[in-house]
Structures are given as structure tokens and as C-alpha cells.
Amino acid sequence: MTDTLWAPWRMKWISAASKSHQASGAARGKGSASQAAASRDEETCLFCRVARSTADRRDLVLARRPHAMLMLNRYPYASAHLMVAVRRHAARFIDLEEPERAELLELVALAERALEVEYRPDGVNYGLNVGRVAGAGFPGHLHMHLVPRWDGDTNFMPVIARTRVLPESLAATWTRLRRAIERLEKPGARGGRRGQAR
């Protein structure tokens, strides 16, 4: 358990530092330089590359929609660690169009159902990191993490050896979840929908 130290006088300093950073970013962001930076971000963005690709097994994509996709995390915190991303390079919820928001949440629900059917987790951590300072690995592309958790999945390895033990390969996880999603998306399945997974 950590202690809490209330330091309300720091908010004035934090606000000033944030305004200074925003002003310098706005100055740098004028004209073609900001457009070039945005284009470069999209060229190096994992989610943009995967959205353009059709190699679902290679890219660990489980389901696609016109505006969003569901995929495995290649560097998982736990087995069946999933990510749901919009296909367009957009950083925040306020940047999304209505169909993008709807499909993002639709795929979160599909991910929940697939995890329930195939892995039966005791809980799920949901996470969004918006902006580099918040921990986003790809800060320009909105995506949500779903990390399944089980009562018995903690052991001494992360504490003693600083090592996570993943009991299943990514290929096996992809196959299990892809099959589960195909079954869930058949007409008449619980919450089913004709999928666009390839």
C-alpha cells in the first residue's frame, strides 16, 4: 500500500508546464512540418500497417470491421491479451466518427464473448493510454487493451525473476480465439454477426 501526499500547490506549476509544452508544440506544428510528422507517424504506426494488411495470421488479427479491428498483442502481459483499435489514425475518442466509436465498442464486446467462451477468465483489465506521457506506445492511434485475469495466474516469477510466464504460444491463442469468434459470428449465435475476418 502506498501513502498519499497531498500537494495542491503543485497544480499551478503543472498547469504552467503543460501550457508551455502545448505552445511549443503548436509553434512546431504549423504548416507542412506538422503534416509531414503526421504522415511519418502513420507510416511507422503498427495499427495503420495492420489495417492496410490482409495477413491476419501474421498480424494476429482476429476480426475486422470497416472502421475497427480486434487483434492479439504480440507482447502480452497475459495469455490472450487483446487489443481493439480503430483503423483510421486517430488519437482520441473525440477524434472518432460515430461508426468508429460504435465498431470499437462492438469489437470490445466480441472480445469479451470470445474470452468467456474460450478462456473463462475470472476478470479482465481494460486499458487505454492516450498520449505518450500516459504510456501509449503508439500515441497517435487509439486502441484499447483487454487483459484477461485468473485467480491462479500469479506466482513468484514476476516478483523474484521479473519474468512473466505465458503458458500458451501466440499461434495457439490466435487459433483458439479465431475459431471462437467464427462460431460467435455465425447467424443465430449469441450476439452473432456476420464477420469480416479474413
**pLDDT tens, position by position, 111-168:** 999 999 999 999 999 998 887 776 677 778 899 999 999 887 665 555 566 667 777 8
User: 195: buried, middle or exposed (CB in 10 Å: 19+, 13-18, 0-12)?
Assistant: middle
Q: What confidence tens digit (pLDDT) does each residue in 90-118 have?
A: 989 999 999 999 999 999 999 999 999 99
The amino acid at residue 77 is: Y
Residue 2 pLDDT > 50, yes or no?
A: yes
Residue ranges in the chain assigned as alpha helix (H): 10-28, 32-44, 46-52, 56-59, 98-118, 170-184
Q: What per-residue confidence (pLDDT) applies to 155?
A: 58
Residue 55, pLDDT > 80, answer yes
Higher pLDDT: 37 or 89? It is: 89
The pTM of this model reads: 0.75
What phi and psi values does residue 31 have, to the nearest 5 degrees? 70, -150
Q: Are strands 82-86 and 143-149 parallel, antiparallel or unpaired?
A: antiparallel
So what's the pLDDT on residue 78? 85
124-131: Cβ within 8 A, 24+ apart:
124/148, 124/149, 125/149, 130/91, 130/92, 131/91
pLDDT, residue 16, reads 66
List Cα–Cα distances, 67 to 61, 87, 104, 133, 192, in angstroms. Answer: 14, 5, 8, 26, 18
- 80, 119 Cβ separation under 8 angstroms: yes
Q: Which amino acid is at 66?
A: P
| Residue carrying C-alpha cell 470499437 | 104
> Quick one: 71 exposed, middle or buried, by C-beta within 10 A (0-12, 13-18, 19+)?
buried
Angle at 19 between CA 145 and CA 86, to 5 degrees: 25
Output the CA torsion 64→109→164→132 (10° steps). 70
